[in-house]
Amino acid sequence: MSKQQTSDNKKIRLDKWLWAARFYKTRAIAKAAVEGGKVHYDGQRCKVSKTVDLNAKLTIRQGVDEKIIVIKDLSEQRRGAPEAQALYEETADSIKARMDATELRRVMQHATAAPDHRPNKKERRQIHQFKHQSEI
């Protein structure tokens, strides 16, 4: 059976496709993500048993990142990463938004960096004096 025939004839559940495309390590985790509202099919929440179609848009939230992908091929078998990446294509807007969010997180991390050292006894007294100064 050729790859095209597999795509046309098979009806594949959403959780199984997410697992085969290597978004989640197990089908149970994929199921929990769909039920938890982390995966949206064409902009709407869906059930785990939703049958996926070609060219459908999926919004997948993993941690702090959100990916918008388009389904390019169907598979119900989990294969190597290069073959799994051929099953979908991430939109250009999604890639740009993720890169911008990553850059913002990196900048914010440096802006709220921890001090170089713990305050010594004199510095602690000054901090306490400053805090209690407003109470008087």
Query: What are the pLDDT tens digits along the chain (136 aa)?
Result: 445 444 456 789 999 999 999 999 999 999 999 999 999 999 999 999 999 999 999 999 999 999 999 999 999 899 999 999 999 999 999 999 999 999 999 888 877 777 788 999 999 999 999 998 867 5
Residue 39 lies in a domain: yes
Residue 9 has what pLDDT? Answer: 64
Asked if residue 134 belongs to a domain, the reply is no
> Is there a contact between 60 and 23 (Cβ–Cβ < 8 Å)?
yes
Place of tokens 């294969």: 79
Q: What confidence score (pLDDT) does residue 136 get?
A: 59
pTM of the model: 0.74
Distance, in Å, from the CA atom of 84 to the CA atom of 28, rounded to the nearest integer, reads: 18
**Which pLDDT does position 109 carry in this prediction?**
81
Q: What is the rounded CA–CA span in Å between residue 87 and residue 72?
A: 5
- Does residue 105 belong to any structural domain of this protein? yes
Q: Provide the pLDDT for residue 108.
A: 85
How many folded domains does the chain comprise? 1
Q: What share of the chain is helix, strand, coil (3-state, %, to 5)?
A: 45, 15, 40
CATH number at residue 27: 3.10.290.10
- Domain membership flag for residue 96: yes
The reply to whether 77 falls in a domain is yes
Domain membership of residue 121 (yes or no) is: no
**106 within some domain:** yes
Q: Which residues of 36-75 are buried (b: 16+ CB within 10 A; e: fewer)?
A: eebbbbeeeebebebebeeebebbbeeeeeebbbebebbb
- Domain residue limits at 93: 3-113
Tokens 């025939």, residue? 5
Distances (CA, A) of 117 to 114, 120, 129, 130: 8, 9, 20, 19
Asked whether residue 60 is assigned to any structural domain, the reply reads yes
Question: Quick one: pLDDT at residue 52?
Answer: 95
3-class DSSP assignment, residue 127: helix
Three-state DSSP class for residue 28: helix
Position 23 scores a pLDDT of 95
